[in-house]
């Protein structure tokens, strides 16, 4: 989802800027294809085996250097246990050098055509983007593209026979690919509307064969170009409430790759319906809002409520913060302790990792996630201030996480899966190394406003 200030920019800019229909270029047929064979990508960590990094935040510095900024970090991220990075929308958008990419104009301009006020995007050039993706792959990381296909921005005005007036639906991108006109947007001769329009922008009609061909079916479709030429390994679909889930499924059926949708809804049943219909993962907004209730509302009982990861863990992407929302402020590290010890595929937000939180603590939790957090989950105790859960182990011994939101140290007896076994706190917050009883019970502790994670030596 995008910030609403784009709507204001759209209104102010679109009336003063026009794109000449005559200034159309075509790509050379010799365009290099990078990183598109299984052998070249064989060294990547399986997506979902580690933790995803959201490699941007809203209003990253303009000036075309963001791809180089991220490039300098990918090896360290890989060393820490990150398995994939999610990039912002990479193509030229209406607001050119100032756009975060969520107002797409030319899907094939990655910072090489002089249009919309700049050659480079806010993030850099096509050469820098491909270089970043190459290095990420060499470092074992997959790269996820942010796909915005609900709406477009920056078209010229044209007479629209379907509305009886004029609309900003005449798109003539300098890449020479995916020209669009009124017929490609709602309403048109084939389809009056779909699930939702965002902010008054022209709303793409996915029921038109021409739009399907350019988005995912053609040999040089957006999906195949991003995969085969630019080198992307998966997809994060923006604002999927705006179109039907069959669109994501059709895209994935055509080109494959990890897929996750931004279905902004806290209703678990709705999220589960969408993941099944789209055959894709979804960000676990149900989990997000329950963590907000727990950590901002100081009532850990909220963690007892249903979440997507509890209903369908293989399709749940858990997160604490993203580029659109940062509401869990108090004791945020406790929320990360929660998602990095529980089921689902966790995402770490760039600013949390690089600026706001303790990187060593996050690296420790990433290690715990990748090495100890396996198997089903059993909640052992929950009240206003304390939450204890057990991962029952699959490829490891499992773990017990103890989250303490009170102002004092807490201790509690819990039943483990280990009999007569020495355990320790892998966070280092407690120096105890207790031995479980023959009946598998043991006393563990957690410091105030903190957490501990226990497993076998």
Residue ranges of the chain that CATH labels 2.60.40.1180: 378-456
Q: How far apart are CA 50 and CA 70, in angstroms?
A: 19
What's the CATH code, domain 378-456?
2.60.40.1180
**Residue 20, token pair as written in the block:** 């000449």
CA of residue 440 relative to chain centroid, distance: 39
State the pLDDT confidence band at 16, using cuts at 50, 70 and 90.
Answer: very low
CB 350 within 8 A of CB 359: no
Q: What are the tens digits of pLDDT across the range 61-97?
A: 999 999 999 999 999 999 999 999 999 999 999 999 9
Backbone angle region of 124, left / alpha / beta, with phi > 0 → left and psi within -120 to 50 → alpha: left
Q: What are the tens digits of pLDDT across the range 152-197?
A: 999 999 999 999 999 999 999 999 999 999 999 999 999 999 888 8
- Residue 37's CB is within 10 A of a number of other CB atoms, namely 10
In this structure, what DSSP letter does residue 216 have? I
Q: What are the tens digits of pLDDT across the range 289-331?
A: 999 999 999 999 999 999 999 999 999 999 999 999 999 998 9
pLDDT value of residue 395: 73
R_g (Cα) of the chain, nearest Å: 24
- Residue 311's CB is within 10 A of a number of other CB atoms, namely 16
Q: What are the tens digits of pLDDT across the range 372-423?
A: 999 999 999 999 999 999 999 987 799 999 999 999 999 999 999 999 999 9
Counting DSSP H helices and E strands in the chain, the numbers are: 13, 19
DSSP-derived 3-state class of residue 289: helix
In this structure, what DSSP letter does residue 87 have? P
pTM: 0.91
Q: How far apart are CA 283 and CA 93, in angstroms?
A: 25
Q: How far apart are CA 43 and CA 38, in angstroms?
A: 9
217: Cα within 13 Å, side-chain hemisphere: 11
CA 316, 245, 142: angle at the middle one, nearest 5?
A: 50
CATH number (3.30.9.60, 3.50.50.60, 3.40.190.10, 3.20.20.80) of 5-262 reads 3.20.20.80
Q: How far apart are CA 224 and CA 93, in angstroms?
A: 20
The arithmetic mean of pLDDT across residues 34-49, rounded, is 65
pLDDT value of residue 7: 39
Residue ranges of the chain that CATH labels 3.20.20.80: 5-262
Contacts of 186 (CB under 8 A, 6+ apart): 192, 193, 194, 197, 203, 204, 205
């Amino acid at each position: 989802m995008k910030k609403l200030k784009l709507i204001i920019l759209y209104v102010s800019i679109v009336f003063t800027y026009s794109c000449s229909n005559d200034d159309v270029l075509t790509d050379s047929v010799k365009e290099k294809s990078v990183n598109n064979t299984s052998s070249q990508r064989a060294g990547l960590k399986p997506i979902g085996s580690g933790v995803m990094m959201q490699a941007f935040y809203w209003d990253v510095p303009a000036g075309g250097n963001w791809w180089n900024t991220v490039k300098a970090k990918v090896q360290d991220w890989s060393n820490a246990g990150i398995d994939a990075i999610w990039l912002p929308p990479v193509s030229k958008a209406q607001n050119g050098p100032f756009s975060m990419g969520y107002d797409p104009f030319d899907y094939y301009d990655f910072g090489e055509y002089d249009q919309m006020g700049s050659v480079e995007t806010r993030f850099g050039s096509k050469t820098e983007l491909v270089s970043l993706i190459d290095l990420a792959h060499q470092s074992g990381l997959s790269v996820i593209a942010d796909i915005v296909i609900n709406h477009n921005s920056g078209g010229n005005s044209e007479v629209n026979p379907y509305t009886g007036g004029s609309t900003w639906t005449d798109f003539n991108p300098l890449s020479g690919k995916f020209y669009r006109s009124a017929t490609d947007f709602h309403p048109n001769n084939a389809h009056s509307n779909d699930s939702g329009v965002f902010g008054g922008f022209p709303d793409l009609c996915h029921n038109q064969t021409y739009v399907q061909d350019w988005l995912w079916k053609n040999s040089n479709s957006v999906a195949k170009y991003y995969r085969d030429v630019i080198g992307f390994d998966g997809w994060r679909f923006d604002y999927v409430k705006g179109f039907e889930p069959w669109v994501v499924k059709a895209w994935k059926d055509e080109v494959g790759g990890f897929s996750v949708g931004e279905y902004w809804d806290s209703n678990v049943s709705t999220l589960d319906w969408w993941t099944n219909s789209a055959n894709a993962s979804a960000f676990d907004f149900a989990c997000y809002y329950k963590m907000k209730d727990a950590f901002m509302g100081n009532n850990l009982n909220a963690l007892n409520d249903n979440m997507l990861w509890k209903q369908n863990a293989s399709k749940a992407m858990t997160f604490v913060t993203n580029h659109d929302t940062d509401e869990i402020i108090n004791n945020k590290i406790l929320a990360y302790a929660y998602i990095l010890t529980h089921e689902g595929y966790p995402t770490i937000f760039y600013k949390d990792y690089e600026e706001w939180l303790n990187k060593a603590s996050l690296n420790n939790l990433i290690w715990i996630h990748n090495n100890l957090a396996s198997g089903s989950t059993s909640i052992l105790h929950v009240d206003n201030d304390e939450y204890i859960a057990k991962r029952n182990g699959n490829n490891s011994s499992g773990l017990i996480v103890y989250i303490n939101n009170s102002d004092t140290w807490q201790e509690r007896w819990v039943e483990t899966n280990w009999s007569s076994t020495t355990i320790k706190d892998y966070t280092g917050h407690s120096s105890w190394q207790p031995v479980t009883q023959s009946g598998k019970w043991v006393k563990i502790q957690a410091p105030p406003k903190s957490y501990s994670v226990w497993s076998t030596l």
